[in-house]
């Protein structure tokens, strides 16, 4: 998206183009924010008012959290832009190690 410099040679044209790109990106971010608020509401209502079993609700709210974090990472933190291959590698490597740690602590360690 709006991550690359434009070279039309005319600064006025460039700035118009860039402002349009920025505004377009802002729209995506507003949509992301609305989705994040919505997902948060659903999670709180499901736990606060819903009459569901723990077997359903735990995976359900974890899924909502993952979706919300994807919005945050890809739109708010611009991971959907070009040039984020290394950040993605770092983040997913960290996540892999982290998930293995969580799995280990919850299965191998018990009291």
Partner 1 sequence: MHVEDKFTAETWPAAPEKQTLEGKNKFLGFWLFLGGETVLFASLFATYLALKDKVPNAEHALAKDLFELPLVFVATMLLLTSSLTSVYAMYHMKNFNFKKMQLWLGLTVLLGFAFLLLEIYEFNHYVHEYHHTFTSSAFGSAFYTLVGFHGGHVAFGLLWIVTLMVRNAKRGLDLYNAPKFYVASLYWHFIDVVWVFIFTVVYLMGMVG
Which chain residues interact with partner 1 by CB under 8 A? 2-6, 11-12, 14-15, 18-19, 21-22, 25-26, 29, 33, 36-37, 40, 43-44, 47-48, 54, 57-58, 61-62, 64-65, 68-69, 72-73, 76-77, 83, 86-87, 90-91, 93-95, 97-99, 101-102, 104-106, 109-111
Distances (CA, A) of 74 to 1, 69, 109: 12, 8, 34
Least distance in angstroms from the C-beta of 67 to partner 1: 10
**Rounded CA separation 108/111 (Å):** 10
Task: Give me the residue label for tokens 């077997």.
Answer: 55
Helices (H) and strands (E) in the chain, counts: 3, 0
80 vs 105 by CB, closer to partner 1:
105
Q: Which residue has the tokens 């799995």?
A: 103
Closer residue to partner 1 in complex, CB, 58/80:
58
CA within 13 Å, CB half, 61: 16
Beta carbon of residue 38, minimum distance to partner 1 (angstroms, whole number): 11
CB of 37 to partner 1, least distance (A): 7
């Amino acid at each position: 998206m709006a991550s690359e410099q434009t070279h039309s040679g005319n600064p006025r044209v460039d700035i118009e183009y860039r402002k349009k790109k920025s505004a377009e990106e802002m729209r995506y971010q507003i949509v992301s924010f609305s989705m994040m608020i919505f997902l948060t509401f659903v999670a709180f209502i499901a736990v606060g008012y819903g009459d569901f079993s723990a077997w359903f609700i735990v995976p359900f709210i974890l899924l909502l959290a993952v979706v919300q974090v994807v919005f945050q990472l890809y739109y708010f933190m611009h991971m959907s832009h070009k040039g984020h291959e290394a950040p993605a590698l770092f983040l997913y490597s960290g996540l892999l190690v982290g998930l293995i740690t969580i799995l280990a602590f919850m299965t191998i360690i018990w009291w």
